[in-house]
Structure 1
Amino acid sequence: MRESNVTVSTTAISTAAVEAYQDLKLKRSFRYIIFTLSEDFSEVVVEKTSASGGYNDFLEDLPEDECRFAVYDLEFEVEDGGKRNRIVFFSWAPDDAKLKQKMLFANSRDDLKRTLTGVGLEISGTDPGEVSYEAVVDKASRGN
């Protein structure tokens, strides 16, 4: 019987990425954070933070043809008129992104998610409709 080796790839999460997330989560210093992979694809790093940007600004910061991870501090109204907050984790892999990049991001996703404790909702998007404000609020309202 032939023995096979299985290599499990783990991606490092930069200290700056962890600190930015903690600032968003605990201090509400940011509305959103966009993460990418370092040039050598070995580490998740912060690409951009925004303290005041709205949801449309966030969507504009997601590239049309490249993968990204993001965290957004979503505030929304529920049916009874009350307000709720949820930290939403986005895995953005548009159809036009290169296959190699999609694979590298997919391999890094779980490592990043494990590091970002306290995420209330996860959204995987391949086109703008899947990450639209209405679609995300609908999912957040249902508690999914």
Structure 2
Amino acid sequence: MSSSSGVRPNAECLSAFQELKIGKKYKYIIYKLTGDEITVADKAETATYDQFLEQLPQNDCLWAVYDFDYKTSEGGDRSKIIFFSWSPDNASVKPKMLYASSKDALRRSLNGIATEIQGTDYSEVAYETVLEKVTR
């Protein structure tokens, strides 16, 4: 399960994701590249979507998984797990390339992702933008 960059997610990446997906223990998990592996940088048991967005740096890349809650047009409560690939325009070229070439190693190991969002600025990860994508 390696990628073109040769990095792989460590065991905590997968166990934390299972706790989010099945146990509903976390609201979000943030992943980062650490040397030659993908690691968990942060996770939160409770967080609003705005609090999650505050964790996205203005000039560095990361990946994240967020348990996105929303209401259907009929008023029903729904939740979808969203994978974020955050690569802001302000980030240096080298991290952008490393994160892009390593994404599939993490993404393929996380079974149960409903939607994937590629973000290069905050407008692409705004609640309304994500809501529109998950309700299509």
2:85 is aligned to 91
What is the rounded CA distance, in whole Å, between the counterparts of 1:76 and 1:8 in structure 2?
35
What is the rounded CA distance, in whole Å, between the counterparts of 1:32 and 1:9 in structure 2?
25
* Contact 2:4 2:101 survives alignment (8 Å): no
Question: Residue 64 of structure 1: CA displacement?
Answer: 0.5
TM-score (norm 1): 0.90
- Of residues 42, 49, 71, the one that matches 1:48 is 42
1:16 is aligned to 12
What is the rounded CA distance, in whole Å, between the counterparts of 1:25 and 1:133 in structure 2?
20
Greater gyration radius: 1
Q: How many residues align?
A: 134
TM-score (norm 2): 0.96
Q: CA RMSD in A?
A: 1.1
Amino acid at match of 1:72: Y
Amino acid at match of 2:26: F
Question: Residue 11 of structure 1: CA displacement?
Answer: 1.5
SS of the aligned residue for 2:54 comes to helix
2:85 aligned with 1:61 = no
Query: Identity of paired residues, percent?
Result: 42
2:128 aligned with 1:137 = no
What is the rounded CA distance, in whole Å, between the counterparts of 1:120 and 1:61 in structure 2?
21
What is the rounded CA distance, in whole Å, between the counterparts of 2:4 and 2:95 in structure 1?
18
Q: Which runs of 5+ in 1 are unaligned?
A: 1-6
Higher RCO structure, 1 or 2 (CA under 8 Å, sep 6+)? 2
Q: Which runs of 5+ in 2 are unaligned?
A: none
2:29 is aligned to 33
4+ residue stretches of structure 1 with deviation over 3 A?
A: none
